[in-house]
């Protein structure tokens, strides 16, 4: 009779015998960039050549679904049904990546060839997300084999190929395919751990709204000597408009965009979370952001307004002219309870009240925040499972500081959502030299095998605990 230990050993063996490396090497070679504006055939090829064969071998029925949004990458829905009365797990990953940025990698490294340097495995998608869903799939295969080809629950995989292009069509496909995606729990892998040395469990994500402030004063610039003093300078005016959103220390000055008070359970979860400190992390700026909060609270339990880019005149080649226009591309990162859908009106009213009526506000991108209740029984269940696989409990984040399309799972599909990341903060995600840490991959395979094993233990996982209704989710 096989045991949980056998499942974990099989997961480690998949890593140790080089098979995991070989699988990931093939997957990294697919140029599945989705943020270049053109849909490449590599997106569908990745699903058909790399994910469907191993999923079919594990007993999944696979279906590729075209994106209802023109130019968007396809989706894969893979279902493995063991019994109509069994509970169902939904898992999610994305096979697309951000641009390779080929010329900018360090000597001897490149985005499309998995390359080992010490503990680091370099390549585009190693961390985000090919490495992570490969770990998830490897852990699944190990648990399934150890249990003699049974899981004890049904499992559905949803893979998208457009996450790096802001997930076009994801919401629509989840609405269309609601029946096929019906489940009781989501477990997925993406994003970084808080610290490389300890696992992380996060329960949702902050949301983000990108918005631009633009002041179009005149169709062209005018000589600053001939006209300075009688023409309003759009760069000066726009700078003051931007400054009215956040003070010199980054504290948000727009009351309606500040979050509600931090719940006590969230505070407690974040109490022992340390931010930064790894060799390649930047030093934190003391005194930046909302006063009175710890770095973890400012990052995970609060909102920030960031200026992403500023433009007026030519910054590289200034000339003696009053620019005709100025623009600031800004972003609100926010937690649940923020009226983000009203951002355009809120900023509009804020600017109008301060005399900036001529500054235009345009929202360019928006995604919701989610946060599973920290006291949901799945959280403690996952903590025990993870500790049983790697010897330590996970850092628990009520939500990730970054953003994920978790709203479709927590909101639309009404699922409790558990995220188990296998990357780490200095992984260079979205940048040249992206990499996966080999020891984290090996440990991640065992963590995932343990979670799959424990989900199938009769009566042990809180599938029918009665506390899993969508109402138990705090989601906006």
- Residues forming contacts to Zn ion in the complex (CB under 5 A) are 128
Least gap, CB of 87 to Zn ion (angstroms): 30
| d(C-alpha 184, C-alpha 470), whole Å | 10
Residue 231: other Cβ atoms inside 10 A: 16
Q: Which is nearer to Zn ion, 39 or 235 (CB)?
A: 39
Q: Tell the smallest beta-carbon distance from residue 401 to Zn ion (Å).
A: 14
The least CB distance from residue 430 to Zn ion, in Å, is 6
Report which of 455, 446, 442 is spatially closest to residue 131, judged by C-alpha positions: 442
Per-residue tokens: 359: 């500054």
User: What's the closest the beta carbon of residue 132 comes to Zn ion, in angstroms?
Assistant: 10
Tell me the two tokens of residue 201.
């469990």
In angstroms and rounded to an integer, the radius of gyration of the C-alpha atoms of the chain is 24
**Helix (H, G, I), strand (E, B), or coil: what is residue 143?**
helix
Residue that has been written with the tokens 């235009």 in this structure: 360
What are the backbone angles phi and psi of residue 164, rounded to the nearest 5°? -80, -5
- Smallest separation, CB 97 to Zn ion (Å): 8
**Nearest-CB residue for Zn ion:** 128
Helix, strand or coil, per DSSP, at residue 67 = coil
Question: Are residues 123 and 114 in contact, defined by beta-carbon separation less than 8 angstroms?
Answer: yes
* Smallest distance from Zn ion to CB 47, Å: 18
C-alpha 450/C-alpha 267 separation (Å) is 29
Residue number with CB closer to Zn ion (89 or 427): 427
Q: Is 128 or 443 the residue whose CB approaches Zn ion more closely?
A: 128
Which of 153/419 has CB closer to Zn ion? 419
For 330-342, the DSSP string reads EEEEE-TT--GGG
Residue among 50 and 128 whose Cβ is closer to Zn ion = 128
Closest contact distance (angstroms) between CB of 423 and Zn ion is 10
Nearer to Zn ion, 74 or 93 (CB): 93
In angstroms, what is the minimal distance from the CB of 94 to Zn ion?
8
138 closest CA partner among 257, 239, 17, 251: 17
Nearer residue to Zn ion within complex by CB, 424 or 453: 424
Give the count of beta carbons closer than 10 Å to the beta carbon of residue 226: 12
Residue 361 and residue 211 in contact, taking contact as beta carbons nearer than 8 Å: yes
Which of 128, 395 has the CB closer to Zn ion?
A: 128
């Amino acid at each position: 009779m096989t045991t949980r230990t056998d499942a974990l050993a099989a997961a480690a063996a998949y890593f140790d015998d080089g098979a995991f490396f070989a699988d990931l090497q093939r997957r990294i070679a697919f140029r599945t960039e989705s943020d270049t504006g053109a849909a490449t055939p590599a997106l569908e090829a990745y699903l058909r050549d790399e994910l469907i064969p191993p999923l079919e071998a594990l007993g999944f029925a696979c279906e590729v679904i075209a994106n209802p949004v023109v130019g968007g990458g396809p989706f894969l829905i893979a279902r493995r049904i063991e019994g109509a009365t069994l509970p169902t797990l939904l898992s999610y990953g994305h096979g697309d990546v951000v641009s390779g940025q080929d010329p900018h990698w360090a000597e001897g490294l490149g985005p499309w060839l998995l390359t080992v340097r010490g503990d680091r495995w370099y390549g585009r998608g190693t961390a985000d997300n090919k490495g992570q869903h490969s770990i998830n799939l490897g852990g699944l295969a190990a648990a399934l084999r150890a249990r003699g080809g049974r899981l004890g629950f049904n499992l559905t995989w949803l893979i998208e190929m457009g996450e790096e292009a802001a997930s076009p069509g994801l919401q629509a496909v989840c609405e269309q395919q609601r029946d096929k995606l019906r489940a009781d729990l989501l477990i997925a892998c993406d994003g970084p751990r808080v610290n490389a040395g300890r696992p992380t469990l996060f329960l949702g994500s902050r949301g983000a709204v990108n918005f631009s402030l633009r002041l179009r004063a005149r169709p062209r610039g005018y000589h600053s000597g001939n006209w300075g003093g009688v023409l309003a300078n759009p760069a000066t005016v726009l700078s003051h408009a931007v400054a009215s959103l956040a003070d010199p220390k980054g504290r948000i000055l727009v009351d309606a965009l500040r979050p509600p008070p931090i719940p006590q359970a969230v505070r407690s979860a974040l109490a022992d979370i340390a931010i930064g400190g790894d060799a390649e992390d930047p030093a934190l700026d003391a005194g930046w952001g909302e006063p009175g909060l710890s770095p973890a609270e400012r990052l995970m339990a609060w909102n920030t307004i960031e200026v992403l880019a500023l433009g007026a005149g030519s910054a590289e080649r200034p000339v003696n002219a009053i620019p005709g226009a100025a623009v600031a591309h800004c972003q609100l990162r926010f937690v649940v309870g923020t009226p983000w859908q009203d951002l355009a009106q809120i900023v509009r009213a804020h600017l109008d009240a301060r005399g900036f009526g001529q500054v235009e506000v345009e929202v360019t991108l928006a995604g919701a925040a989610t946060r599973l209740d920290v006291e949901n029984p799945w959280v403690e269940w996952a903590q025990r499972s993870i500790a049983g696989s790697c010897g330590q409990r996970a850092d628990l984040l009520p939500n990730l500081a970054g953003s994920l399309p978790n709203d479709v799972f927590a909101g639309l599909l009404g699922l409790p959502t558990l995220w188990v990341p296998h990357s780490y903060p200095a992984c260079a995600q979205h940048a040249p030299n992206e990499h996966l840490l080999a020891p984290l991959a090996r440990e991640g395979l065992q963590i995932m095998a343990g979670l799959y094993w424990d989900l199938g233990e009769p009566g042990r996982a809180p599938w029918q605990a009665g506390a899993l209704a969508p109402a138990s989710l705090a989601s906006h």
